[in-house]
Structure 1
Amino acid sequence: MEYGLIYSKYDPAGVGIVNVLKELTRVTPVNVRGFERAFIAEELNAIILEVDTDITECEFVGDLVDVKYYVMISKHTSSQGIKSFTTHHVGIPIHDLNLTRNINSFPHSNPPLAKKFLLNLIKFRDELKLNDFVVSYEVTHHGPYTLRKPTTFIELGSSSSEWGLKKAQEVIAYVVKDSLSSDLSCIPTVGVGGNHYASMFTSRALSSGECFGHIIPNYVIKYFRDDVEVLSRLTNYAITYSVVSTSRVVMDSKVPSIVKKLVREVCSKLGLEVID
């Protein structure tokens, strides 16, 4: 199978979305060691897997199933309670940024797939008339941290009211079904700076050929502002750990000048275009 579609049995959004997805495409139950429930979706060239843990902690799946790409179908939680459909990549432990000093890689990003998610989230949100839901990227954050295949989250937020909303679950199910069966040509891009919901990079992706992989936000940059070694490593990881070769790095205007200089130096060594 090309795709591993992962959801947690404890996640009402993930369970609901997968139930809708199983209504949209034919699935066949299978036994897979280490998983309570698993289904083959031939039309999607995918295996759907239920994990008995928080989806951000399922580091073990890479040892149990052989696929090219992971798609994590999940709820999104926000204290602001904003209705949202989001997509993002993984690798920065924002719950304790000091742990970032110890990481030595990111799981690979999948910029074309994340952009397909972004475009289709808008398409199906509008078709199902859920226009009060915001669609955006999120920056690189949380785990799983050790998966060796490209890992992309698609999330429904941001409270239990939205997680259980059938029409919102349908949006993401339609998006997954459509996105896995289509191709997209784009400019693989890394983002540096901006807020958690990557508003600038979302806007750029929707209005240009850019597709964003890893995005390092301003709050991470601020935390490590005086640690050139960590910032240099994170920039290199963001650029290097992508399923497609990064072509461009875009920086938010509020990135400190000392960090902009560091990013330019990294990009110069790698021969990448920089936009700031």
Structure 2
Amino acid sequence: MPIILVSNQDLAGLTIKKQLLKMGTFEETDRKFEGNLIYEEAQTKVPIVTINRRLIDADHLSKFFKTDLFIFASKHKSESEKPSLLVHAPGNWGQDNSYGGNPQELALTSARIIKQVLGDLTKLREETQLEYDVTSEVTHHGPTNLDSPCVFIELGSNETFWQDSRGARIVAEIILKLITEPPSLSHLIYAIGFGGPHYASNFNRVQLKTNYAVAHIAPKYVLDDITEELIIQAINKTVEKVEYAILDWKGMIKTQREKIIESLANLNIEILRVRQVVANSKK
């Protein structure tokens, strides 16, 4: 059973929570966590849990909750401040853990959930004609050491949009679908990704146009320092069986590509190019 997480420090999460309570059949319980009331969906018993610390610092949750999926409803902040709807897995590819989690540690995640959320966000944005960007992001920030898979679904990218009920409604609808309906995707091929920018536009094409589902993505800016142990983590911390690594071939330099290819060969993981995967899906 999933658990929905929001934070009192996260305005977007609180806006999404408000929409969940309005749109869903959530009821107050007599339970609290960190002094905050826990709400429970009437049919599935999926809770909405509000925490007091930042979501990216929520590595303590597995001490209190057993679940098959932590769904983090979160804000997204960017310099562009564009209205955005986003999804990604948490984790730190490098030593810098200033945004939560442990250095060089990736969280458990689900490729199928990320693919489904991105597809549903895209569809709802089109249906509502809301002028928001929709994208997946690469793996970044905490928490990283929870015992259950995690996914961040985010509303961005400034204070105005964190309070926008229209964007929050879309995120809430996605979350309600995740917790009340059986998985809508089947016959998927599971992969991890390497290369490209932080906003994973080429991997969006893979997720939206093919039957590949991509879990952890390592962008170009981390590849100089990535280790084989981290690649093993990306494989092992995807709950589905990873069969392929998909490379954004031009989204990395030659030395990075050679390093990644050598490590993947050592791990007997088959390599595909983004362009190849997308082109083959059109045949």
TM-score under structure 2 normalisation?
Answer: 0.87
Q: Residue 235 of structure 2 aligns with which residue?
A: 239
Contact 1:7 1:50 in 2 (8 A): yes
Name the CA distance, whole Å, in 1 between partners of 2:44 and 2:262. Answer: 41
Q: Which residue number in structure 2 is paired with residue 165 of structure 1?
A: 164
Distance 1:214 1:111 in 2: 8
User: Match for residue 227 of structure 1?
Assistant: none
For residue 81 of structure 2, what is the aligned residue in structure 1?
81
Take 1:215 and 1:20, find their aligned partners in 2: how far apart are those partners?
Answer: 30
User: Which residue of 2 is the match for residue 129 of structure 1?
Assistant: 129
Give the equivalent residue in structure 2 for 1:275: 272
Aligned Cα RMSD in Å? 2.2
Residue equivalent to 2:70: 70
> Number of matched residues?
267
Partner in structure 2 of residue 214 of structure 1: 216
Name 1:138's counterpart in structure 2.
137
CA contact (8 A) 1:94 1:141 kept: no
**1:1-276 alignment, distance < 5 Å:** 2-30=1-29, 31-92=31-92, 96=96, 103=103, 105-130=105-130, 132-180=131-179, 181-183=181-183, 184-185=185-186, 186-222=188-224, 224=225, 230-254=226-250, 255-276=252-273
Runs of at least 5 residues in structure 2 that lack an aligned partner in the other structure: 274-283
Contact 1:187/1:247 (CA < 8 Å) preserved in 2? yes
Which letter does structure 1 place at the counterpart of 2:4? L
- Ranges in structure 1 where 5+ consecutive residues have no aligned partner: 225-229
Does the 8 A contact of 1:232 with 1:262 survive in 2?
Answer: no
Q: 1:178 to 1:108 in 2, by over 3 A?
A: same
Kept after mapping to 1: 8 A contact 2:8/2:14: yes
The 1:126–1:94 alpha-carbon spacing in structure 2 relative to 1, beyond 3 Å, is farther
Tell me, what secondary structure is at the counterpart of 1:43? Answer: coil
Cα distance in 1, alignment partners of residues 52 and 107 from structure 2: 21
CA distance in 1, matches of 2:169, 2:259: 43
User: 1:3 touches 1:45 (CA, 8 Å); kept in 2?
Assistant: no
Change in CA separation of 1:217 and 1:35 when aligned onto 2, cut-off 3 Å: farther
Distance 1:166 1:33 in 2: 25
- Give the match's secondary structure for 1:245: coil
TM-score by length of 1: 0.89
Identical aligned pairs, as a percentage? 25
Kindly tell me: are residues 155 and 27 of structure 1, through their superposed partners in 2, closer, same or farther at Cα, counting changes over 3 Å? same
Cα separation, 2, equivalents of 1:257 and 1:93: 20
Displacement of 1:52 in angstroms is 0.4
Report if aligned partners of 1:91, 1:144 keep a CA contact under 8 Å in 2: yes
3-state SS of 1:147 partner: coil
